Structure formats: structure tokens, C-alpha cells
Amino acid sequence: MDLYEYQGKELFRRYGIPVSQGSLATAPKEVRAAAQELGRQVVVKAQVLTGGRGKAGGVKLADDPADAEAKARDILGLDISGHVVHKVWVESASEIAKEYYLSITFDRGIKRPLFMLTREGGIEIEQVAEEKPEALARLHVDPLEGFHPYQARRLVYGAGIDDPNEQKQIVAIVESLYRCFVECDAMLCEINPLIVTPEGEVKALDSKVTVDDSALFRHPDIAEMRDVEAVDPLETFAAEKGVTYVKLDGEVGILGNGAGLAMSTVDVVVVAGGRPANFCDLGGGGNAQKVVDTLEVITRDEQMRSILFNVFGGITRCDEVARGILSAVGQLGLELPIVVRFDGTNADEARRLLEDSPILHVEPTMLEAAHRAVELAEEAP
């Protein structure tokens, strides 16, 4: 579960990581009142679950309450990479002398938490890693040994932070961030930028926190932060139907029986020059009703132009899936082209069942099926 900036900052505040004072608002008038309350220059920040808000015009400084209200009018309703802004965070503006970057996440290869710290903050960390890898200090923490203060010092020296006053504050922040990461069952805690003010004060100007969904039962206070309105309505519908569905932003719908097969299907569609509209796993033993439910979910996506249904029959019998497809086409009145690849148990019988339908296209291999699905998506109006 991804947290909004203001929620991540609330966790940071609890762990003693310095953040600016602020408040949440949903209307320009509320922003004006919040700015009045804060009583000085403020920054109005779009609260959306995506990065790059600054560049998209979602972060603006305001000199007085009237200006804050005007800036809020610009930001509320803005679309930032498909996320519409409904809430803004208004906080006391900070003066920035330096922008650093600090994060902790899992290094899955090494199976340990990994800290990253660099003086090259404010920009995307991937860019730093690519263009100036020597500027990025990395440090793994052995979870069995736990965290030791010398590790924070090593990280800070490694990043080339040589001001003793900054070192002291950042060491404390690193230690607090580790506690926050572990105690909240987080998967990512990122501060970008971690700023130094002209007076030499270090603080977190932004936050990006992801908490492990499987651990939310241990954190009712964090679980409550979930914004039900921000969840894609289609994903909610899929969950109700018991279908594993992830919305993507392409045109070719992907359906496979088994997560591994569905993921390979996503890759093959990309190889064939298409863009997947979703990832959908029918699961093992998919019966006809499950196929109907699944097609009902994915066909609600209006951007989708064709569907690639990739079935490997093992326990699942291909003919059963074929019957499901036929009844879904009938029940739902589907008109979208559906390309089907069958292999395994009863594949021949399944292919025969689909022969007569004008919208069903049976292809012998996964790659041919992917090419066909991409072609049909391009031809579609």
C-alpha cells in the first residue's frame, strides 16, 4: 500500500524525523485558511500516488493566503500521469540550500534492507544511479544483527557529506528511518529531497512510503490511511468477482490461466509491438463461470481494442475454457476481437468449438497469437 506524502510525513513525524508543519485541504478556501493559520510563505502540494509532481505543476509556492488559494485552484483537478488531484497538502515553505536524497528499501537479490544516500537529491534516483553512480552511497543492513550507529556514519561519510552539523542530523535521521521502516513493515521509505536550509537545518521535504499489504493487520492505524476512492473502480470490481486483475495502460487485454503464463503473455505482446491493457490471471482449474466473470471484468476497460487469451490446459481443460468463452461472448454480447491460443488437455476439441464465431481467432502458438492480437488492436476503430 502506497501512502500519500502527507501520510508518510505523519509517520516520519512520529519517528522524530523533522518535517514541516502543515495541513490537508480539499478546496481552495480551505487552503487559504490553512495558509492564514501557518502565517507565512507556504507551499501547496498535490497529493497523488505518483511522483514527478513538481515537474507537472503540482507543487507551488505561495506568498500569502490569497495567492495560496489561487495556486490551489490551479492544482486541484489537475491530472498528473492519470491521477486527478482531489487533495492538497499546505505546509510552511522551506528555504533550500541543498537537496539530498535518502531512502531505505529491500534489496531482494541480497535479501537485506538497503540504504541509499546521495548529495544529488531533488531528481530521480534512477538518473543518479545511471549518470553518477559514484555519488550514490549504498549500505546493506543485516536484519539479524540489526542496525548500528556506525552504519549511519559510514553511509554519511560514503555520500561525501562533510559538514559535522549535517552529519550529526543525518545520522539521527538514518537511524529513525530504519526504525520507521522496520516497525511499520514498510517496503520503501524515501526522502527526496532531504534538504539543508540556509541555517543548516536538515529536514524531509517529501516522503514516499510503501507498506507491505500482508502486514497491514498489524497496523490498523496505517490500514485506515487507505484511500478507497483512489483505488481503480475496475480493480475493486475484479476483487468482488475474485479475479486477479491489474489495470495497465495499453490496448491488448491479457488473460492467462496461471500468473506465470499471464506474465509471459504480457512480455510476448510487447515483443510483438503491442501494449498490454491489463494483466489478468484466470487461476488454475478455471471453469466456464470463472471465464465469464473474468471477461466481464476486463471488457469494462474502454481503452482495450483486442484480447489475447492464452490457455495452457493441464488440470484446466481447454474445452471447458472454450465453453466459457462462448457463453461469455453470448451473455455479454462481446464484439471485441478475441485471439485464443490453446495448448494441452483437450486443445483440439477446444479449437473446434470456437471455429464458427466471427470474433474469435484461434492461433496455434503464443507468438502468432500475440502478433494477431496486436494487429487486430491496430485495425480496430
Give the footprint of Mn ion on this chain (CB under 5 A).
Answer: 192, 206
Instruction: Point out which span in 90-98, 131-139, 265-273, 321-329 binds ligand GDP (CB under 6 A).
Output: 90-98
How many residues bind ligand GDP (CB under 6 A)? The answer is: 16
Provide, rounded to whole angstroms, the least separation between the CB of residue 261 and ligand GDP: 36
- The site partner of 205 among Mn ion, ligand GDP, none (C-beta below 5 to 8 Å per kind) is ligand GDP
Q: CA torsion sign, 33 to 38 to 42 to 44?
A: negative
| CB-based contacts of 21, cutoff 8 Å, min separation 6 | 38, 91, 92
Q: Which of 5, 166, 190, 363 is catalytic?
A: 190
| CB-based contacts of 198, cutoff 8 Å, min separation 6 | 95, 97
Active site residue 363: no
- The site partner of 288 among ligand GDP, Mn ion, none (C-beta below 5 to 8 Å per kind) is none
Please pick, from the candidates 16, 39, 52, 284, the single residue that binds ligand GDP as defined by CB under 6 A: 52
Active site residue 91: no
Provide, rounded to whole angstroms, the least separation between the CB of residue 196 and ligand GDP: 12
Site for ligand GDP contains 94 (CB under 6 A): yes
Please pick, from the candidates 11, 25, 35, 43, the single residue that binds ligand GDP as defined by CB under 6 A: 43
State the Cα–Cα distance between residues 260 and 349, nearest whole angstrom: 25
Please pick, from the candidates 22, 65, 193, 276, the single residue that binds ligand GDP as defined by CB under 6 A: 193
State the Cα–Cα distance between residues 165 and 233, nearest whole angstrom: 49
Instruction: Point out which span in 32-40, 89-97, 160-168, 258-266 binds ligand GDP (CB under 6 A).
Output: 89-97
State the Cα–Cα distance between residues 263 and 117, nearest whole angstrom: 33
**227 exposure class (CB count in 10 Å sphere: 0-12, 13-18, 19+):** middle
Phi-psi bin for 39: left (phi > 0), alpha (psi -120 to 50), beta? left
DSSP state of 19: B
Report the run of H or E that residue 196 belongs to, with start and end. Answer: strand 186-196
Site for ligand GDP contains 49 (CB under 6 A): no
Interface with ligand GDP (CB under 6 A): 43, 45, 51-54, 59, 61, 93-94, 96, 122, 192-193, 205-206
